[in-house]
Amino acid sequence: MPHPCRHSRPGWILLRAIMDGIPPLKDKRLIIKDLIFEKVKVRLYQPKTSTTGQRRGVLYFHGGVGRLGIFSHLHNEIHECTNEKTARAPLSRYDHTETLLFPCRYRLAPEFPYPTQFHDCLTATIHFMKTAQDYGVDPARIIVCGDSSGGTLTAAVAQALVNRKDVPKLRAQILIYPFLQAADFNLPSYQQNAKIPVLIRERTLILGLKYLNKDISAVNILLKGSHISEERRQKYQKWLSADNIPHEFKMRGYTPPGPPAPYSEEIYKLAKPFLEPLFSPLLCEDNVIAQLPETFILTCEYDVLRDDGLLYKKRLEDHGIKVTLCHLEEGFHGTIFLAAYSKVVTFQSGIKDLRTT
């Protein structure tokens, strides 16, 4: 696999600086402001339509946190197209004039290494929860939302808040094709979609290793599961077993894997951060899972991360958490992201989701 981001460091830092100067998208129906929440940059999208009561507040965490060089920042900027549509389109049964959207512009790797991204998102969320009424938002109606690795951040933030007494409870979390675990790369969706763009199986692991600033030479042995001891394998089995995935998702090109690869203590030490709930929220303990808020999960059929969402749904429901699943049968990883450019290229699965979810 070619080394990503061969641009010189000064070159892509300069491009990022240029991108920082791009003004927010304009829309006559929205008030758009750049704000600071405890040194974390956020952008406010507020409908100009007046309301009689307090609004709902949504904190949004974009994907693309890892060592993607300029592309991570471009991903951030392009997400503003999606954010603008989200802010002015009825994405649910709720009136969209009742919602304020706050995309969090957390600091990016590689300049700011993991777990800076999580801490920025958590800091911004706590600040907003404590000051929500200053923006006309009901503190009991705050939602966190994210896509891809932003979905990882969303799940990790929700988990970090469950035992806090100084902030209100989250109303809900929205996870859009989230990455949720790095223990098993042989789930049905990883097998079925191993070579399907935009997120192929090997690339998923390479991005994770680079995000953690780890050596990527161990990719193949990690894909075989050599970082999981027998003890951990038994513990994770109840959460990650393919038996927990509905049969209809295993009919297309899935073969139950054979015996696991031999455990390697060296590989485990390399990959230890992979198994922490901050990076793999699906592996969080039951006492935290049981306290999570109502959840919406979007999965795509042609996405290696599909089963992460399905397994998290099962874990949450096993603990009595209400979960709504939206599965896009023709969707692929990045569907919503690409649908922001529907005026140029048509991605029907993403556009349908933007309008009806």
Strands 40-47, 294-302: pairing kind: unpaired
By CB atoms closer than 10 A (0-12, 13-18, 19+), residue 194 is: middle
The number of angstroms, rounded, from the C-alpha of 69 to the middle of its chain's C-alpha atoms is: 19
Kindly report the number of other CB atoms within 10 A of residue 11's CB atom: 13
Question: Which positions are annotated as active-site residues?
Answer: 148, 303, 333
Name residue 279's amino acid.
Answer: F
What is the spatial distance between Cα 283 and Cα 289, in angstroms, rounded to a whole number?
Answer: 9
Beta bridge partners of 56: 99
Q: In what order do the strands lie in the sheet with 172-176?
A: 30-37, 40-47, 99-105, 55-61, 137-147, 172-176, 294-302, 323-332
